[in-house]
Amino acid sequence: MKAYLKQSIPALAAGAMLFAVACNSTTQKSAQGVSDTTGISAKAFEKEIDGKPVHLFSLKNKSGSKALVSNFGGRLVGLFVPDKEGKLVDVVAGFDSIEGYQKSTEPYFGATIGRYGNRIAKGRFTLDGKTYQIFTNNGLNMLHGGKKGYQDVVWDATQLDAQTLELRYFSKDMEEGFPGNLNVTVTYTLTDNNALKITYKATTDKNTVVNLTNHAFFNLNGSQSGSILNHLVQIKADQYTPVDSTLIPSGKLEGVKETPFDFTQAKTIGKDIEVKNLQLDNGKGYDHNFVLNPHQADDAVAIVTGDQTGIVMSVYTDQPGLQFYSGNFMQSKNTMKGNHKDDFRTAFALETQHFPDSPNQPSFPTTVLKKGASYQSQSIYKFSVAK
């Protein structure tokens, strides 16, 4: 399957019952009992930020798996799936209160990322002959939307049924320097076969650039279980985009064969991560975009297995790239769920996306969304148990 900005998205199945109650512009499911099985209290997420109410929403499927989502940053707070013993394990790193996310030195835990995920060199790009300057929040470059990306805004939320949450955000023209009023809808769906679907849609009234993704930090042995280096990872990509010391791509595509970036056959994250390699030095480990091989919508582009729990996460996407991040900048500065620190390489991210710095790289798939056109994308994280 060729991956382009516009994709057709299968319609999400409507739920059997609407049970949400209105709360200002947010429609909220009563979260009573959330803390009974997850250890996370919905009350710890009740707050007003920027004049808008923040809540914690609970999605639950027929098999008992659960996803917890806050409309602050449209972020995945917890994801509870069964391990090889049938025990529910929280596989997403995060905090047990809204204050934890607000005070975190790492702002992206579980968050929806936009308007442009990943980096833009020097925060600058030219579109239709006009140069736009975005706030540079990552050294010389823009990262994940600028100074106040979508991880720091309060989304309007409607819980459509027990398994589906719709989030909406209106991003104003020139917000963080991006042109065009952008209407964004992100839908989380927890299916009965333990797949978390994230569907993105957006429209604009002016030509702009868009690259939406989610920045969940995963540990398939459990969010409090320590190092992820023994996780088995397979990424179906024969090429990746090498970067400079500021993690901006050169514009070239390089083969992974006979390099530490070859995950075409499953291997542990730790197998080659300490190999002497300029690209690993630049990223302090893996923090690179993988160029996904041509694939159909039902082909997993990545498969990860937790060595202790046997939990398998299969990733599906219609995007051309996958950013693999091995938790290299986790520095034990934040106290997470269960009173654990965000220690070095205790979580990883697999961000489905277009390539970094695409607005400045004409050879990369375009991220331009034209006036009147529709951005549509879907990513799926499906969980099973190793046989």
Residues classed as catalytic: 215, 351
Task: Choose among 296, 82, 45, 78: nearest CA to 188.
Answer: 78
Question: 322 near 301, Cβ under 8 Å?
Answer: yes
Cis peptide before 124 (omega within 30 of 0): no
**C-alpha distances in Å from residue 91, one per residue of 99, 105, 210, 370:** 21, 21, 28, 37
State the Cα–Cα distance between residues 42 and 122, nearest whole angstrom: 40
Residue carrying structure tokens 């939406």: 212
Strands 56-60 and 368-369: unpaired
- Using CA atoms of 124, 155, 70, 227 in order, give the dihedral in degrees to the nearest 10: -10
Burial of 322 (0-12, 13-18, 19+ CB in 10 A): buried
What phi-psi label fits residue 224: left (phi over 0), alpha (psi between -120 and 50 degrees) or beta?
alpha
Q: Which amino acid is at 77?
A: V
Residue 37's φ and ψ, nearest 5 degrees, are -120, -15
Question: 186 near 41, Cβ under 8 Å?
Answer: no
